[in-house]
A = this chain, B = another copy of it.
């Protein structure tokens, strides 16, 4: 007899691993472009090259597919922030954080758009993660930044809004890629735009946070 995936407790088959991988890959494509509600199982099945019932044999519902995708991606997505090191040189840490985030935007744009779609539409499936693990991690790193500012190593600033600014500027190149390309035109929208962006953002944040230039009242 055939047992759907969620009911199995035994270890997974070779075929299971391959097919689940294949499905999640296709689902990432579709969910990232159309959001949860805008995506259809048929479409995912077609991209994955299998029939709809076959796909539903591995993931019993559309939500289960989305859930599995979110769980798998969320972890990797926060890695750059986790690497943020309180013991390191502040300017170097911020600079390399920007670079890592920008690399992720370049190398994993679908993952970025998956989250962007989800959050844009009110984060109905990941609200708990936002208020739980994500908030905890940001709180921790915000404290590091605050300590650097207090020690006079960087300018005084609101650490939360600094993190938001780094997120938004870097993810912009994945989420709004079509706009970036449209505005830059054919000539400037090659892969070189990521180097240009990196150079600009490092300049902006390093200078923007350097001590002595700030008029902050804080």
- A21-49 interface mask toward B, CB cutoff 8 Å, 1 = contact, 0 = none? 00000000000011111110000000000
- A86-123 interface mask toward B, CB cutoff 8 Å, 1 = contact, 0 = none? 00000000000000000000000000010011011111
Q: Are B200 and A119 in contact (CB under 8 A)?
A: no
A165 CB to closest chain B CB (Å) equals 5
Q: How far is the CA of A199 from the CA of B80 in the complex (A)?
A: 26
Which residue in chain B gives the minimum CB-CB distance to A185? B135
Q: Are A175 and B38 in contact (CB under 8 A)?
A: no
Q: Pick the interface stretch among A11-19, A54-62, A68-76, A153-161.
A: A153-161
A138 surroundings in chain B (CB, below 8 A): 183
A35 surroundings in chain B (CB, below 8 A): 34-35, 37-38, 117, 121
Q: Is the C-beta of A150 less than 8 angstroms from some C-beta in chain B?
A: no
A8 surroundings in chain B (CB, below 8 A): none
Q: How far is the CA of A189 from the CA of B6 in the complex (A)?
A: 38
A120 surroundings in chain B (CB, below 8 A): 113, 116-117, 120, 175-176
Q: Is the C-beta of A50 less than 8 angstroms from some C-beta in chain B?
A: no
A66 CB to closest chain B CB (Å) equals 13
Q: Are B175 and A130 in contact (CB under 8 A)?
A: no
Q: Name A residues whose Cβ lies closer than 8 Å to a Cβ of B.
A: 33-39, 113, 116-117, 119-123, 127, 130-131, 134-135, 138, 155, 157-158, 160-162, 164-165, 167-169, 171-173, 175-176, 178-180, 182-185, 188, 196-197, 199-201, 203-210, 213-216
Offer 15 A-B interface pairs, CB within 8 angstroms, sorted by A.
A34-B38, A34-B121, A35-B35, A116-B120, A131-B185, A160-B184, A161-B200, A162-B200, A164-B169, A164-B172, A164-B176, A203-B215, A204-B204, A207-B207, A207-B213
